[in-house]
Amino acid sequence: MTPAPNSGAWRPGDPFGQRKFAELFASRPHALEAGGRVGDVTVAYETWGTLNSDRSNAVLVLHALTGDSHAAGVAEPGHREQGWWEGIIGPDAPIDTNKYFVVCPNVFGGCQGTTGPASISPDGKAYGSRFPRITIRDQIVVEAALADQMGIDTWAAVVGGSMGGMRALEWAVSFPERVKRLIVISVGAVATAEEIALSSLQIRAIKADTNWHGGDYYDASAGPSVGLSIARGIGQVNYRSEMEFDSRFGRNHQGDEQPLEGGRYAVESYLEYHGEKLSHRFDANSYIILSEAMNHHDVGRGRGGSTAALTRVSAEVTLAGVSSDHLYPLRLQQELAELIPSAAGVEVIESPSGHDGFLVALEPVGKIITRALQ
C-alpha cells in the first residue's frame, strides 16, 4: 500500500485541487487480467468543482504516461509545477468547474501517490520487481472502484489523451452504461507495432543501467536514473515532430559549445534536460510497468476483436488527433471513427508539436472539448 500522509476519502465540500487518497480492495482483492490478485490499493486523486445533488455532473480526466493527478492548479507540495492541463480545467474553462465536478486520479501502477512498484507491500518492503503485470483494463477497474466509493454511478464525460485516451476508450467499452460522453485524443484501438517497438527500446535502456538491480534498487545507493533519462529522451523524440525540432533547434550549438570539439548540439541538451528532469520525479519501475500496460492495449482482446468491442460504446463520442503526430497518427483515430457507431468523425488539432500537441495546443484542444461537452 502506498503511504498516504493525508489519507482520507473524498467528502462533498472538500477544498479544490488538493490531493486526496482512497483505499480500495481492502476486503475484496482485485483479480488482475494477466493473473494474480492485488488488495489494499491506494489511489491518489484531485478534484475541482462541486458535485451536484444527483451526482450527474462528474467528469473523469485521465492523464498520460508520466502525468499525475495534478491536472490543474498552481505548483504545490508534492507537485513542483502547475497542472499538466492548466487552462483546460477551471472556472469558465473548457471543462468548466462552475458546471462540472472534475476528478483526476493518478493511475494504478504509477508513482505519484497511487499504488505502484515503489509502494510498500504487506511484507514491509517495496514491491519492486514483485509488482504484478497490469493492463489498461486493470487500471480502469481501479478507477471504477474509486468512482463507486465516491458515489458516482455515471460520468457526464470521460476525457483522456495518449495513455489517458486508452483508459477512456476502455471505460466506454468495459462500462458503457457509466459513460455519457467520451472524449478520446491521440490514440487508437490497439497499440501498434511501432509503439511497442519504441516502448521496448526505452525499457531496455532502463534495464541496461548498471543500477537497475533487477528492479530492486530502492535500498541501493542509486537507482537507474541514467537509463530512465535515456528512455525519456527516446520518448521525447517521438512525442514531438521533426518540424518542431528543426524550427526550434536546427543545427544550433548549445551555448558556446563546439560539437566538433566534443560539445553538444542544442537538441542534445534539450533531450538531456528532459531526461534528467523526469529521473528526478518519476520511478523507473513505474515507467516500465506503465509502458508495458500501454503495449498490451487492445480493446478487442477477448471480445472478438476491435470491431465487436467498439460496438459496445453507447456514449456520445468525440475523437481527436494531432496533425503532426507520427506516434499515434490520425489514421488511428480515423479507424476508431469507422468502428464506433456513435462517432461522427475526427477533430484535427493543428499543431507542429507532434503527439504532445494535445498537451500544448490548448486553444484548439479547448475548443474541441467545449463543443463535445455542449
Of the chain, the end-to-end C-alpha distance in Å amounts to: 40
| Distance between CA atoms of residues 19 and 260, nearest Å | 48
Q: Which three cell numbers stand for residue 294?
A: 500501454
Catalytic residue among 119, 162, 225, 279: 162
C-alpha cell at 334: 480515423
Is position 280 annotated as part of the catalytic site? no
Q: Residue 39 is which amino acid? A: G
Q: Which of the residues 325, 351, 353, 356 is marked catalytic?
A: 325
Q: What are the residues whose beta carbons fall under 8 Å from the beta carbon of 43, sequence distance 6 or more?
A: 21, 22, 24, 105, 106, 108, 113, 114, 115, 142, 143, 146
Q: What are phi and psi of 79, to 5 degrees?
A: -135, 110
Helix (H), strand (E) at residue 350? none
Give the residue among 205, 196, 267 at the shortest CA–CA distance from 232. 205
Indicate the length of the chain as a whole number. Answer: 374
Identify the CA nearest to 112 among candidates 134, 80, 157. Answer: 80
Q: CA 155, CA 167: separation in Å to the nearest integer?
A: 14
Strands 316-322, 343-349: pairing is: parallel
Query: What type of residue sits at position 251?
Result: R
Amino acid residing at 22: A
252-258, long-range: CB < 8 A, 24+ apart: none
63, 79, 296, 355: the catalytic one is 355
For the question of residue 325 being annotated catalytic, the response is: yes
Q: What is the CA radius of gyration of the chain?
A: 20
Alpha carbon separation from 248 to 242, 252, 266, 271, 331 (Å, rounded) = 10, 9, 9, 13, 27
Cell triple for 321: 488527433
C-alpha cell read off for 196: 511497442
Written as nine digits, the cell of 285 is 519501475
259 DSSP β-pair partners: none
Task: Report the alpha-carbon angle 40-44-49, nearest 5.
Answer: 135
The answer to whether residue 351 is catalytic is no
Q: Which residues are catalytic?
A: 162, 325, 355
